[in-house]
Structure 1
């Protein structure tokens, strides 16, 4: 692939420049459309895709084995000479996607989205990631026409706050590996019994009207990702002693809109969440590594979020 960096990453506060070559397709970024109207069109397209494409289901019959994204083969139904779809070939081996995917719903940018997930290893038992974790993953991204626009042959680590929104919704519902990491004889890292599947995302949970330059992705394109989810590790993005997923105070899976002291710095990037002049890390009075359980004035608000806590008991 010509893209040297993951096309998934969308930085919250800084841009990412993606390498591209002159022969890659460029698209002009159009003005954003109404998200609700676009979601209706995207969902119709996704349902049509799922109803007219199938996968090699029997290839994953042995649940004791660990499979890879390369083992997943998605094909379009055959057509007759007039372009009409024919019946599913080899139904003992294949299955229509629409029969095996799970329909899920989320809210993003004040819009309700349906998206679809094919879970090929429901027996994975490792812990599920938080939506702000680093995840270790292998993936392959493709367009509905089958063109692969990005892939990684080896596991990479991605911060889930820096990926397209659909990834956060999907991956926090999948389990990580039961065992690993182990070092294979060839020096690669191995895992077993990991989260494994395919996600089918509308453009509103992907790049919407502004896909990354040089990727060959047109605006308003639905995307498909095969993936192997290996591991997850919680983040503390501002090193204040409070894990980032705990800084989602309103519980909406969006840590950018939680700003206790209203200083335009969200709590997960703010080392002094309540703006009282005492760093959050120093409001851990009992020194247990957790500032969330210290409440000097016993008002039910932990000191690190309480500007009016008894500061005489705090260490600056």
Structure 2
């Protein structure tokens, strides 16, 4: 469910609507998407209100150890008979979210978004995932009314961050993986020192106007997660790790297309379209095509269709 919207399903539904219409049927009008800037204001106000009226059991996480997402309890403040919120109960045991979450910003679809993280354990491992990595974790996702709409409890099932909603690619790289693991006789793996947190994502970094079944349009989402492991991806096996194919540095690999062939570099085995596969432009055979610049023009061969080596090999 945290995967991007199902394009095939959307196309299929559109096709069914088209063929179901008869010449005499009334004209069908589509509701346009809301303005992203305006919706972000609404989403952010909703999140801030949530943080001011909800608290978590912070004292539990003051005790060292590997805590779990099941231990994270977020509760709405009590109210009086008139619906007014009462003070935080047991301040020594609980903390308002507004006093605990960290705020981050991300520009996406020409809109500046704010998203929030409750960091309960950074993760004791040395590796922090890239936004294009495969990750291993468990999670639980819910709406702001606490309805759980998705979860995964299988840490052996890797998720490719490039196929997940935008918010995940912004949050997960801010944590570290586990520091240690043990493989049990039954093949299961026990991790220790893993990253533990909660992400609060505005709808613009989630499903926005095209959510999956069970998620209303323009829904802010909340995910609790335990981050165990990650490994760097090379989606096109060209010798250049996918996160390094983000040439414009905007933390997206879908808009980097050196040869303008409508295939982004991270999926394109010949990034510069010179007829020489990127993997074969690793002239010094060190496994890294990014440091080979035969004609010395400051552009590595795999991105330079005019490189001397490429011309010789074409």
TM over 0.5: yes
Residue number in structure 1 paired with 2:159:
158
What is aligned with 1:188? Answer: 188
The structure with the largest helix share of the pair is 2
Residue 104 of structure 2 corresponds to: 104
Unaligned 5+ runs, structure 2? 11-29
In structure 1, distance between residues paired with 2:73 and 2:164: 25
| Counterpart selection for 1:249 from 247, 250, 253 | 247
1:226 aligns with one of 220, 224, 227: 224
Asked whether the 8 Å contact 2:105–2:114 carries over to 1, the reply is: yes
Q: CA distance change for structure 1 residues 254 and 36 in 2, over 3 Å: closer, same or farther?
A: same
Does structure 2 conserve the Cα–Cα contact (< 8 Å) formed by 1:132 and 1:235? yes
Per the alignment, residue 272 of structure 1 pairs with: 270
Corresponding position of 2:24: none
- Cα deviation for residue 67 of structure 1 reads 1.0
- CA distance 1:95–1:238, change in 2 (3 Å): same
- Cα distance in 1 for residues equivalent to 2:173 and 2:108: 16
Tell me the equivalent position of 1:89.
89
Residue matched to 1:77: 77
Deviation of the 1:189 alpha carbon: 1.0
Structure exhibiting the larger radius of gyration computed from Cα positions: 2
Residue 10 of structure 1 is aligned with which of 4, 8, 11? 4
1:129-168: CA deviations, max 9, x gaps? 0010000010000010111111112213110110000000
Q: Which runs of 5+ in 1 are unaligned?
A: 1-6, 18-28
Task: Give the TM-score taking structure 1 as reference length.
Answer: 0.89
Q: 1:296–1:313: 8 Å Cα contact kept in structure 2?
A: no
Q: Say if 1:30 and 1:71 are closer, same or farther in 2 by CA, change over 3 A.
A: farther
Tell me if structure 2 keeps the 8 A contact 1:126–1:194. Answer: no
- Corresponding position: 1:55 with 2:61: no
CA contact (8 A) 2:123 2:196 kept: no
1:237–1:122: structure 2 CA closer, same or farther, 3 Å change rule? closer
Q: Distance in 1 between matches of 2:118 and 2:84?
A: 26
Q: 1:22 is matched with which residue?
A: none
Greater relative CO, 1 or 2 (CA 8 Å, sep 6+): 1
How far apart, in 1, do the equivalents of 2:244 and 2:54 lie? Answer: 40
RMSD of aligned C-alpha atoms? Answer: 1.8
Aligned to 2:16: none
1:147 and 1:200 mapped to 2: Cα distance? 14
Q: 1:276 to 1:32 in 2, by over 3 A?
A: same
